[in-house]
Amino acid sequence: MNETQAPANPSYAWVMAAVTFSLTALSFGVLGSVGVFLKPLAVEFGWSRGDLSLGYTAITLSTAAATVIWGIVADRHGARWIALFGASVLGVCLLLLSQIETKTQFYVYYILFGAFGHGALSPLYANVGLWFKRNIGLAIGVAISGGAVGQGVVPMITSLLIEARGWSATYAILGAAYLLIAIPIALLVRNPPRPEGNTGAEAPMMADGTRFPLPPAVAVGWVAFAVIFCCITMSVPIVHLVPLLTDRGIGPEMAVSALLVLMLAGAAGRIIGGKLADVIGPLQSYIFMSAAQTIAVFFFPLVTGMAAIYVLSGLFGIFYSGVMAAFIVIVRYMVPANYLARSMAVVTASGWIGMGLGGWQGGFVFDLTGDYIWSFRNAAAAGIINVSILVLFFFYIRRARVRVAAAQFAT
């Protein structure tokens, strides 16, 4: 599903990839920090891990609800001013979180962060995809790798700040820093050149010179359904790795360092996954990375010793991030340009639903059982469902291509 004989990329394309890298690093850093705030807030307010895990769910589900709306707006008007608005909301919500006193405030501020901050940045992925005509997978992989860097670096900074200043001051410091950093970067966002063709409504061209055979709604529906289960799988280690390790008596800084390894490996994994999508095809890359991610998740509660934990964290980081790159690149190769932002929004919204469900079930099942074994086994089961859906989708596309070829031959 690779485009052939594509023209050169516009000169500003890699600037947009760098801008998206930076803004997603900041935004995803908050998501990665949810697990770091979990125990300090539990000590302060006496809330359960299930209750606190719902904070992560609040972000993901509100992002899922809003990102489709932002995608529709971006398809019509571009992503520039949406991104600036979202960057501003990031900092304001963190400042509000520094003053929470009730669970209602905790959830409301995280909902606002997801719907109007994190969600408003989601059209940037489609924006980057349309800036590039060659090496599309690599470009998207580089752009979204910022999320992995942010999820690794920001929690480490957060952990140190909490230890030195407490949770409230840490939220305030992060909020002020985000306002100072994110807004100037967001001002660099530019909308891509107009798509080739009169309307940008043509199906993307595949490597053999034929158009992709499925309507956008069908392709997006298959991918979005798989992504829900895929993200249930990946969210459990992301949210619960730090608590899992500290429950074993590992110090907070050492536990967060494992998350740092996971996320930094994830930065490389998104680039690898994007490039692999260019080479073997995004769906094939997605299937491979999903299968590997599922195997890695199953072993998290079973490994002992920090050396093994670091190795497993690094492998999982590569695989889960490769998955994220692949399912975003898939949409770029399957959907016409005029519908790209909203289509990516639907897929990423499905991902946020999965992330919210997975993060919540990890804490809920822990509260029921007093252990993370079944939390991670449930995540692995969701991964098996994801891979099964993707394999069926692969053969569905092949049958559709045969039908289209037969129809063309008959005429």
The whole-number pLDDT of residue 203 equals 61
When pLDDT is averaged across residues 28-37 and rounded to a whole number, the result is 81
Separation of alpha carbons 265 and 131, rounded Å: 26
- Examine the pLDDT at 382 and tell me if it is beyond 90: yes
pLDDT single digits (tens) 76-127: 888 889 999 999 998 999 999 999 888 889 899 989 998 998 889 888 988 8
Separation of alpha carbons 53 and 66, rounded Å: 20
This prediction's pTM: 0.73
The whole-number pLDDT of residue 9 equals 63
- Examine the pLDDT at 196 and tell me if it is beyond 70: no
Percent of the chain exceeding pLDDT 70 equals: 92
Note whether 328 and 347 are within 8 A (CB).
Answer: yes
Task: Say which residue the tokens 């997801």 belong to.
Answer: 114
Decide: helix, strand or coil at residue 246: helix
The CATH architecture that domain 13-193+201-410 belongs to is: Up-down Bundle (1.20)
Separation of alpha carbons 18 and 196, rounded Å: 24
Task: Say which residue the tokens 């990665």 belong to.
Answer: 32
Burial level of 299, CB count in 10 A (0-12/13-18/19+)? middle
Domain positions in the chain are: 13-193+201-410
As a whole number, the mean pLDDT across the chain is: 85
Query: 189 falls in which pLDDT band (50, 70, 90)?
Result: very high
Residues 6+ apart with CB under 8 A from 137: 273, 274, 275, 276, 277, 278, 282, 285, 325, 329
- Examine the pLDDT at 278 and tell me if it is beyond 70: yes
